[in-house]
Structure 1
Amino acid sequence: MKRLNLGILAHVDAGKTSLTERLLHHAGVIDEIGRVDDGSTQTDTLALERRRGITIRSAVVSFTVGGTSVNLIDTPGHPDFIAEVERALGVLDGALLVVSAVEGVQPQTRVLWRALRRLGVPALVFVNKIDRRGADPEGVLRGVSERLTPAVVPMGAVSGAGSRDARFTPFAAGDPGFTARLLDLLSRQDDDLLADYVEDEAAVGSGRLRAALAAQTARAAAHPLYFGSAMTGAGVPALLDGITGLLPGAGGDAEGPPSGTVFKVERGQGGEKIAYVRMYSGTVRPRDRIGFGAADGAEEKVTDVGVVDHGAEVLRAPVTAGRIGKLWGLGRVRVGDHIGERPAASPDRLGRQRHFPPPTLETVVAPVRRADRGALHAALTRLAEQDPLINLREDGPGEMSLLLYGEVQKEVLQATLLDEFGVRVAFRESTTICVERPVGAGAADEAIGVDPNPFLATVGLRVRPAPPGTGVRFGLEVELGAMPPTFFRAVEESVTETLRQGLRGWQVVDCAVSMTHCGYWARQSHSHGTFDKSMSSTAGDFRNLTPLVLMSALKQAGTRVHEPLHGFSIETPASTVRALLPVLAQLRAVPRDHRTRGGTCLLDGTIPAARVHELQRRLPGLTHGEGVLESAFERYEPVRGEPPSRPRSGVDPLDREEYLLHVVRRV
C-alpha cells in the first residue's frame, strides 16, 4: 500500500482544520464533521485550542483512500506558532496549502510557501471557501500565480462562486483548453515531452500528460490547484484524487537499519514522555533498544509503540519505514533528535537546520504567588520539551525568561500554565532580542600553577569574527592528543554555554573560537590507591576556567550589538503613500522600492523588528483601512546610538572575584 505523510498548512482562518475534518469524513473515518467554533474537531484536542478556535500544536490523523494510506499533519496557522510548522516540515512527503477564496494570498501564506520552496516539498494548493460571500476564485488564482508561483495548474472551474450552490467541476482529460495550458506549462520543464508533441501531436495523450504532471509535482516543479469548500464538500473528491494520484509516496526499506526523526514530544496522562517519530528506514518495535540524539549518543528501551491507522491509535504495532509513530520510554529524547542512524533521505530537510527566522521577542515570567516558584520552573521545563525555541533561562529567584514569536503566544502560555499546571503567572512587557558580534580579534590564556589561576588546567583561547550566519565555531590550534578528549569536550561545551551572554548580556553569534594553549596534571593517587583530586586535573577545572579566559579574550576583541531587522511589504492605495512615508521615517523604516499598479502602490523596505507592532497598529488609520502589511525577519544590523544591555543570569565571569567566590564555594 502506498503511504503518504501530508502536511496541511495555511494562514490562520483559511479553513485548514475544517478541511481536515471534511477529508476524514469523506474517507469514512468520522461519521459527523466537527466544527472549529464548537470545539469538536479531531485535531484540536487541547482545551485551549477548542476555546480559542485555533490550532496551537501539530496533530496527526490518518485515513485511507483507495490504495493510499495518508498520515495528515494539521499544523498551526497563526504566525506566533510557526515553530510547530517548522518541526513538521522536515518529515513531509508532500504538503497541501490552503488559501481562502475570500482573503486570497495572505502574509503567512507567503511565508509558508517560501519555506516549502526552499525545502523542495511537493505541494498542492486548495482554494477554500468558494461558497462564501465575496469569494473571487479567478482573482485568487491570479494572486497565487503572481505572489507564490507561476507554475500553478488549475485543475477545474468554479460555478456559482459566493453562494451555497458553489461547485467545482474538474477539467475532463480531453478538454482542449486544459490540455493546451497543461502542455504549455509541462513542456517548459520537459524537453522530451515538447519534442514528442512537435513530432506527433497525437502521441501526447491525456495519460502521458497526467504522468508528466505527477512527475513534475513530485519534483515541486508544478503545483496543481483545486477549488472547493470544506463546509459543503465541494471539490473535495477531486482534491483527494490529486493527493493520492499526484503526490509522491513515502519510500524506505522496512528491513534496513532503524533511522528516523523526532518532530514532536508531548507528555501522557501519567507524565511520561511520548515521542512522535517519522521513520525513514527500518522498524521500531516494543522492547527494542535504540540510540537517539546527536551529542550524547543516548540509548534507551522503547516500552511501547503506537501508530495512527484509519483514525484510531493502534498500540504495540511496529513503526515501519515511511510511517509516523509514537514511542514511549525514551526519557531523554528531544525534539529534533534522530532515531537510530542519521536519516540519509532529504538531508536538507532534517536535523536542526532552521527553515524560519528565530524568535525576536523576549519576556520575563514570574508566578503571582511566591509559593509557586518551583511549580513554575517544572511547568516551563516541561513546555520547553515541546517547544525548544522558547529557550528557557533562569534570570533570578522565581523569574524566568522566554523567547517568543508574538503576543498571542504569550497569552497562550499564560492560559496553558493556569489550565494545565494550576500556576497563575504575570509577564513583563516583551523586549526585542538582540545579538552581539565580535568586532576584532582577541586572545587570552591562563596556565596551571600561575597566579591568579586557581584551577588545575591550562586554557588559551583566541576569538575572531566569523561570516554572518555561521553561529559559533570552535577549533583547535593545539595537538589533538595533547589532552584527554573529555577535557577538550569540556572546553568546547563551556565556550558554547558562555557565549550565550556576551559583554552586554546578548548571545554572541558569528564568532570563531580557537584553543591556543592547553595543559593538565595527570591523574595522581596515593600509595594506597586513593584518587588525589587536589593534584589531578578534572573536566570541571576546564569548565570553570574557560569562561574567565573566553570573556577576557572577548573583551579584548570587543563586540557590537545588532538588532533584528524585518523586511516589509506594504500594499496600499497610491493616494495614501504621502501620509505613510513620514510615519515610516519616524519608525526608522527604510523604503527600498515602490511600484504603482493602477491605483495601488507596492512599497518594500526594512524596519527594526521592535517597530513592526507599532506600524501594524497605525497602518489602518493611515491607509483608510485598506493597507496590507507583510513582514519577516531579514537580518541583524548594528544598533544605532547607545546599544541596549540585557540583565545577566547566573554567575558573571566578567566579575572575576565574584565568579571565583561562587565557583570555588560550589566546588
Structure 2
Amino acid sequence: MAKNTGVDLTRVRNLGVIAHIDAGKTTTTEHLLYYAGAKHKLGGVDEGTTDTDYDPEEQARGITIYSACVPFEWAGHTINLIDTPGHVDFTAEVERSLRVLDGAVVVFDGQKGVEAQSETVWRQANRYGVPRMVFVNKMDVVGANFARTLESVRSRLTPNPEEQGRPVPIIIPIGSGGAADSRTPFGGVIDLIEMKAKFFDAGDFGKTVRIAGIPEENLDEAQTYREQLFDALTAHDDKDLITSVVLDGKEPDPAKVRQLVREQCLARTIYPVLAGSGREHIGIQPLLDAVTLYLPSPLDRPAVVGTDPKGKKEQKRKPDPKEPFCGLVFKASWHPNGNRFFIRVYSGVMKPNMRAYNPGKDTKENVAKLFHVHADPARGLEEVENGPAGDIVCVVGLKDTVTGDTLCETAHPILLETITFAEAVVSQSIEPESGADKDKLAHALEVLQLEDPTFKLKVSEGQTVMSGMGTLHLEVKRHRLERDFRLKVRAYPPRVSFREMLKAPRTVDVKVEKLGDKPAFAELKVSFTNFKTDKPVSVFNVVNTDANPVPVAFLAAAEKALFDSLQTGELGYPMMNAQARLLDAKFDPQVSTEDAFVAAAIRAYREATQDNVQLLEPIMKVTVTTPNQFVGSILGDLTRRGGQIDAQEMSPNGDMVELISRVPLRELFTYANEVRSLSQGRAAMGMEPHSYEPAPDSVLRQLMGE
C-alpha cells in the first residue's frame, strides 16, 4: 500500500552530511539512524555493515562513493538524510547533493581539523548558499583538540566573519582524547544554552542520556564559550530577543536563545558548532536535536529560480504544494528492473500517473509510481501516494531524462539551472578481453555515464576512452564493469585529460556553394573568442532575423554544428571556454539546406582554429601534511615535479607542517605512494583539481610523437 506523504513542510529537513574523507561522516550517519529508530543495530564502516555504504566497493574500501538518501523521523520531524563521499574523486556526488538539500552538517576530525577536502566541500556549500552546522567528531582520539579545530575552521574557512559568518559553539566537549592522554579523557558534552552536562551510556551504545550539572573543573571553560556565543548572537539581534537581558547580567530565556541561533544559522551569519564521537556514541542526540531546531525546512529556503524555456524570462516557484509542480533530477542510478531517478520537488505536488514535461529536452515522461528509497537496494522501494514540495522522491524508468534535467507541468513550464560539474582530468583506454563483449561493454559504459556526469566516454581512433576525476574514480568504474555487468576488461595505463583553448579571437566569413557535385548555398560570419563561463563551450545566435529572415531550422543546424565542433579542438582534445557567435547569415531559398549550413559551420570552425589553439594541462592543488623532519625532502620532490609552493604552515602544536602547492597532474600518478616513502609512511596527502594552464612545449611535442 502506498504511503501518504501529506506532511507539514515546516517539519521537513533535507539534510546533507559532508566532510573530508575519514572524518567520520558515515559512522555519524549510522548513529543518527540508530538513535532515530530507523535501524535496530549499529553498523560499522570497518565491518562493511553500514546502511549508507551499501555498495560492495564502499564496503571493501571503507569509504563512501555514492550519495545515499535515507528518510527517518526524529522529534516529530521527517529528515531526508544524504550521506556523501569525502574523497575528491567523487566530488560530483557532493555537488549534486548540495544542489538539492536545504541544510548540511559538516563533520571535522577533532584531531586533524580542517583538511584539504574540508575546504572543497565548504566552498561547494557556499556556492549553493546552504546553511550548515559544524560537528567536531572523534573527540575521543588521542590528540583531539576542540579549540584547535575550531580555530582552524575560523582561520581557513571563515577568515572574514562579517562576510562569511562565524563558527560558534553551542555544544562543547568534556575532556578530549582517550586513556593514553594525560588530559581528562573525553566523556560527555556541555550544552551551552541550557548550561547542563550530558553523558551517554556506553552499555546501550549511547542511547541513554544522563543530564547532570557541569563538572566543577569545566565550569570556567563553559562560561567562556557561553560568553562568546552571546557576543556572536547579540551582534545581529535586531529584535532584541536577548541583548538587553544579557547586558543587564541576567539569564536569557533558552527558547529565545534557540530562536536567535536558528535565525542566524539560516542567515549564515553563524554556524552552530557541536562536538562528539560517533565511535564512542557521544553527542549524537544533541546533533539530531540541533538539526530539527536550527537547520532550514524547505519553507525557509528562497523560491527556486528558473527561466521560461521559450521566452527566457525569469520564473520563480515557491516551496508550496499549491504552486505548479517543478522538480530537479539530481541523481540517476542503474537498476536491472529499470533505472532510478531521484527528484527534489521544489514546488507543487508530483503525482503518480502524471505526464511530466522535460523542458530542456522538449519531451514528456510517464511517471507511473513514486517511491522513497532506502540506502540499501536490497530493502526495496517504498511506494508513496505523492511527492509534495520539499520532498525527495524516486521515479523508475524515465526515457530521455538525465541528471540536471528539470521536470514540470506542461501548462506551467520552467527550466531550472542545471548542475555544473568539474571537468574530468584523467583518461584511460579500455577494451573487453573478448571481442564478443564489445556491444555489452558499450552498453555498460553508457549506463555508468548515465549515473555519473563526471564520467565521460569517447571513441578515438578505434579505442574507447573513459575519463574521470582521478585514478580511483576510474578504478571503481572498472570494478563495477566486472562485478555488476560480468565483464572482463583490459584497461591501459591512465593518462592526463588535456584541453585546448584559442590562442587569439578570430572572426571568419565562409561560403558554401556546393555539397559534393550538387549546388548548395550557405554563408556565415562567425566570431570565435575565449569567454569565461560556467559551461566549457557556448554558441550564441545574434543574427537579426527580422532584417535577415534566414529560416530558423538553418540557423539551428549551424548552431548545433558549431557546438559539436567546439567539443574537440585541433589536436583532438575538448575546447575550454570557447564561445562562437553567429554574427550574420545568408541563404538562397532555391538551394539552401540544413546540410549546407552544417558544412559552413564546420568550415568556419576549422578556419578559426587552424594554428590558433594552445594545449592546456590540469593543475592539481596538492596538500601534504608531514612531520617537520621530512619537509625538506618533500619540498624538493614537489619542486622537481614542477610544483609551485603556495603555502607552508606549521600546526598549532608545532609537530606537523602543511604544504600546499600546485602541481601538474602528469607528475602525480604515483605520488601518493612516493610521498609515503619520503616520510617513512607518516605524511598524508590530498589533492583536488585547481585549474588548467598552458602545457610546456615539451609536452606537446611528446603528444605529437616528436
For the aligned pair, the TM-score class normalised by the smaller chain equals 0.7 to 0.9
Query: d(CA) in 2 for partners of 1:583 and 1:312?
Result: 51
Query: d(CA) in 1 for partners of 2:15 and 2:584?
Result: 52
Q: Assess if the C-alpha contact under 8 Å between 2:526 and 2:584 holds in 1.
A: no
Query: d(CA) in 1 for partners of 2:58 and 2:93?
Result: 14
Question: SS of the counterpart of 2:479?
Answer: helix
Q: Which residue of 1 aligns with 2:204?
A: none
Q: Assess if the C-alpha contact under 8 Å between 1:490 and 1:539 holds in 2.
A: yes
Q: Which residue of 1 aligns with 2:271?
A: 223
Give the aligned residue type for 2:572: G
Q: TM-score, normalization: structure 1?
A: 0.86
Deviation for aligned residue 1:490? 1.5
Query: d(CA) in 2 for partners of 1:629 and 1:19?
Result: 24
Q: Against the structure 1 CA distance between its residues 623 and 455, is the aligned structure 2 distance closer, same or farther, given a 3 Å change threshold?
A: farther
Deviation for aligned residue 1:299? 1.2
Q: Which residue of 2 aligns with 1:662?
A: none
Deviation for aligned residue 1:448? 4.6
Match of 1:162 among 177, 183, 186: 177
Q: Which residue of 1 aligns with 2:75?
A: 66
Question: SS of the counterpart of 1:234?
Answer: coil
Q: Which residue of 2 aligns with 1:182?
A: 229
Query: d(CA) in 1 for partners of 2:633 and 2:279?
Result: 42
Deviation for aligned residue 1:228? 2.0
Residue 384, structure 1, aligned to residue 438, structure 2: no
Query: d(CA) in 2 for partners of 1:273 and 1:451?
Result: 43
Query: d(CA) in 1 for partners of 2:623 and 2:486?
Result: 42
Write the deviation string for residues 41-77 of structure 1: whole angstroms up to 9, x where unpaired.
Answer: 2222323333333322211111111221100011122
Write the deviation string for residues 598-635 of structure 1: whole angstroms up to 9, x where unpaired.
Answer: 56555444222222345444333444555444443232
Q: Assess if the C-alpha contact under 8 Å between 1:182 and 1:209 holds in 2.
A: no
Q: Which residue of 2 aligns with 1:278?
A: 344
Give the aligned residue type for 1:228: G
Residue 19, structure 1, aligned to residue 28, structure 2: yes
Q: Assess if the C-alpha contact under 8 Å between 2:527 and 2:583 holds in 1.
A: no
Query: d(CA) in 2 for partners of 1:37 and 1:198?
Result: 47
Q: Which residue of 2 aligns with 1:525?
A: none
Residue 302, structure 1, aligned to residue 367, structure 2: yes
Residue 327, structure 1, aligned to residue 383, structure 2: no
Q: Against the structure 1 CA distance between its residues 385 and 98, is the aligned structure 2 distance closer, same or farther, given a 3 Å change threshold?
A: same
Deviation for aligned residue 1:182? 0.6
Q: Which residue of 2 aligns with 1:610?
A: 666
Counterpart mapping for 1:470-481 below 5 A: 471-476=536-541, 478-481=543-546
Query: d(CA) in 2 for partners of 1:206 and 1:603?
Result: 44
Deviation for aligned residue 1:200? 4.4
Q: Against the structure 1 CA distance between its residues 99 and 341, is the aligned structure 2 distance closer, same or farther, given a 3 Å change threshold?
A: farther
* Number of corresponding residues: 626
Residue 255, structure 1, aligned to residue 322, structure 2: yes
Query: d(CA) in 2 for partners of 1:378 and 1:602?
Result: 44
419-428 or 143-152: which moved more? Answer: 143-152
Q: Against the structure 1 CA distance between its residues 53 and 572, is the aligned structure 2 distance closer, same or farther, given a 3 Å change threshold?
A: closer
Write the deviation string for residues 60-116 of structure 1: whole angstroms up to 9, x where unpaired.
Answer: 111111221100011122221111111111001101122233443322222112211
Residue 359, structure 1, aligned to residue 414, structure 2: no
Deviation for aligned residue 1:307? 2.7
Query: d(CA) in 2 for partners of 1:163 and 1:585?
Result: 39
Give the aligned residue type for 2:325: P
Q: Which residue of 1 aligns with 2:620?
A: 566
Give the aligned residue type for 2:286: A
Deviation for aligned residue 1:31? 1.4
Counterpart mapping for 1:42-61 below 5 A: 42-61=51-70
Q: Which residue of 2 aligns with 1:491?
A: 558
Residue 339, structure 1, aligned to residue 407, structure 2: yes
Write the deviation string for residues 120-162 of structure 1: whole angstroms up to 9, x where unpaired.
Answer: 2111122223334554444433333333347222233333543
Query: d(CA) in 2 for partners of 1:316 and 1:617?
Result: 49
Q: Assess if the C-alpha contact under 8 Å between 2:173 and 2:186 holds in 1.
A: yes
Query: d(CA) in 1 for partners of 2:678 and 2:61?
Result: 30
Give the aligned residue type for 1:123: R
Q: Against the structure 1 CA distance between its residues 478 and 174, is the aligned structure 2 distance closer, same or farther, given a 3 Å change threshold?
A: closer
Match of 2:633 among 566, 576, 579: 579
Q: Against the structure 1 CA distance between its residues 446 and 120, is the aligned structure 2 distance closer, same or farther, given a 3 Å change threshold?
A: closer
Q: Against the structure 1 CA distance between its residues 188 and 587, is the aligned structure 2 distance closer, same or farther, given a 3 Å change threshold?
A: farther
Q: Which residue of 1 aligns with 2:382?
A: 314
Match of 2:87 among 78, 83, 93: 78
Give the aligned residue type for 2:417: G
Query: d(CA) in 2 for partners of 1:11 and 1:197?
Result: 40
Give the aligned residue type for 2:43: G
451-460 or 222-231: which moved more? Answer: 451-460
Q: Which residue of 2 aligns with 1:111?
A: 120
Match of 2:357 among 267, 286, 291: 291
Question: SS of the counterpart of 1:314?
Answer: strand
Q: Assess if the C-alpha contact under 8 Å between 2:92 and 2:422 holds in 1.
A: no
Deviation for aligned residue 1:203? 8.4
Question: SS of the counterpart of 1:465?
Answer: strand
Unmatched segments (≥5 aa) in structure 2? 1-7, 160-165, 180-184, 196-222, 300-318
Query: d(CA) in 2 for partners of 1:455 and 1:300?
Result: 42
Give the aligned residue type for 1:80: D
Residue 417, structure 1, aligned to residue 481, structure 2: yes
Query: d(CA) in 1 for partners of 2:37 and 2:624?
Result: 44
Query: d(CA) in 1 for partners of 2:34 and 2:701?
Result: 54
Residue 506, structure 1, aligned to residue 570, structure 2: no
Query: d(CA) in 2 for partners of 1:228 and 1:199?
Result: 31
Query: d(CA) in 1 for partners of 2:574 and 2:701?
Result: 11
Q: Against the structure 1 CA distance between its residues 84 and 596, is the aligned structure 2 distance closer, same or farther, given a 3 Å change threshold?
A: closer
Q: Assess if the C-alpha contact under 8 Å between 1:250 and 1:322 holds in 2.
A: yes
Q: Assess if the C-alpha contact under 8 Å between 1:196 and 1:203 holds in 2.
A: no
Q: Assess if the C-alpha contact under 8 Å between 1:455 and 1:545 holds in 2.
A: no
Query: d(CA) in 1 for partners of 2:562 and 2:658?
Result: 46
Give the aligned residue type for 1:371: A
Deviating beyond 6 angstroms after TM superposition, the runs of 4 or more aligned structure 1 residues are 309-312, 645-648
Deviation for aligned residue 1:318? 0.4
Match of 1:243 among 291, 312, 330: 291
Q: Assess if the C-alpha contact under 8 Å between 1:439 and 1:465 holds in 2.
A: no
Residue 152, structure 1, aligned to residue 154, structure 2: no
Match of 1:171 among 191, 202, 225: 191
Question: SS of the counterpart of 2:122?
Answer: helix
Q: Assess if the C-alpha contact under 8 Å between 1:56 and 1:81 holds in 2.
A: yes
Q: Assess if the C-alpha contact under 8 Å between 1:448 and 1:455 holds in 2.
A: no
Q: Against the structure 1 CA distance between its residues 52 and 198, is the aligned structure 2 distance closer, same or farther, given a 3 Å change threshold?
A: closer
Q: Which residue of 1 aligns with 2:697?
A: 641
Deviation for aligned residue 1:334? 0.3
Write the deviation string for residues 224-250 of structure 1: whole angstroms up to 9, x where unpaired.
Answer: 222222234211111111011011111
Give the aligned residue type for 1:153: V
Q: Against the structure 1 CA distance between its residues 312 and 386, is the aligned structure 2 distance closer, same or farther, given a 3 Å change threshold?
A: closer
Residue 426, structure 1, aligned to residue 441, structure 2: no
Query: d(CA) in 1 for partners of 2:660 and 2:46?
Result: 36
Deviation for aligned residue 1:313? 4.3
Residue 549, structure 1, aligned to residue 549, structure 2: no
Query: d(CA) in 2 for partners of 1:412 and 1:309?
Result: 22
Query: d(CA) in 2 for partners of 1:101 and 1:218?
Result: 25
Give the aligned residue type for 1:638: P
Query: d(CA) in 2 for partners of 1:408 and 1:191?
Result: 50
Question: SS of the counterpart of 1:8?
Answer: strand
Q: Assess if the C-alpha contact under 8 Å between 1:167 and 1:228 holds in 2.
A: no
